[in-house]
Amino acid sequence: MLTIFPVKGIPEIKKGDELGKMIVEKVEDQGEAFQQGDIAVISQKVVSKAEGRVLHLSKIKPSDFAKTIANETGKNPQQVEVVLRESRKIIRMKGGHLITETNHGFICANSGVDQSNVGTKRDSVTLLPRDSDASADRIRKSIYHLTGKEVPVIITDTFGRAWRMGQVNFAIGISGMKPIHDYRGTKDMYRRTLQVTEIAVADELASAAELVMNKVDKVPVAIIRGYKAPRGQGRVKDLLRPEEFDLFR
């Protein structure tokens, strides 16, 4: 049976906090214990805070280009400067939206630069982790060291989608599992061979976990139990479509 439970009681995260240790402690405080094959789904925001990926916009000097973009989009010039620093290129600018390709290769609004749930200082923003896979690796190894259990880790962020309303959680960092279940070459229920079906299970797990995490309830971690994740060591780049195969850019 598949179950998802929130990890409650995680305090405000500061730079240098050891998330793996904190997660294990809070799981045990709830009368639970990690089991082999559990999956830890962790919000990007707490990872970024622990890694010191927080900036104060008042300390940012915007370039002339950032000022131009800010004027066209109605955004804060300092924030635009940070967005540009965190991006490879601008993908779209329209209706006050600034869609970029991040240095990691994600296509999202504002390079993932975010002011929500950062802290009491109104000019604070968080940046995405520099290497979310490495962040997931560290947390997974910490959990294993403390519990002896192999627990895949997924780091998530909330992205919009080009063709649908609403936002969903996506995987932006992965450790201890393959992010895609490849059905190609297997038979469907009518014995036809599947040719193209590859399911992004890491994204599906990230979205499922958000149902109990909830951005306003201070629950940045959820544990998924009962799902047999594809074994192996995948990376988030496995989920990114190469530009030469992108039909919409």
pLDDT in tens, the chain (249 residues): 899 999 999 999 999 999 999 999 999 999 999 999 999 999 999 999 999 999 999 999 999 999 999 999 989 999 999 999 999 999 999 888 999 999 999 999 999 998 876 666 678 899 999 999 999 999 999 999 999 999 999 999 999 988 899 999 999 999 999 999 877 777 777 788 777 788 899 999 999 999 999 776 789 999 999 999 888 889 999 999 988 888 887
β-strands 39-43, 153-161 pairing: parallel
What's the whole-model pTM score? Answer: 0.93
Last residue of a domain, one of 95, 125, 155: 125
Do 75 and 19 fall into the same domain? Answer: no
- One domain for residues 138 and 220: yes
**Structural domain boundaries enclosing 195:** 3-53+129-238
Angle between helices 64-73 and 77-85 (to 10 degrees): 110
Domain end position, chosen among 86, 103, 125: 125
Domain count, the chain: 2
Domain with residue 142: its CATH number is 3.30.1330.100
Q: Residue 58 carries which DSSP code?
A: G
Contact by Cβ (8 Å): 42, 139? yes
154 closest CA partner among 9, 13, 4, 8: 4
Residue 29 region, left (φ>0) first, then alpha (ψ -120 to 50), else beta?
alpha
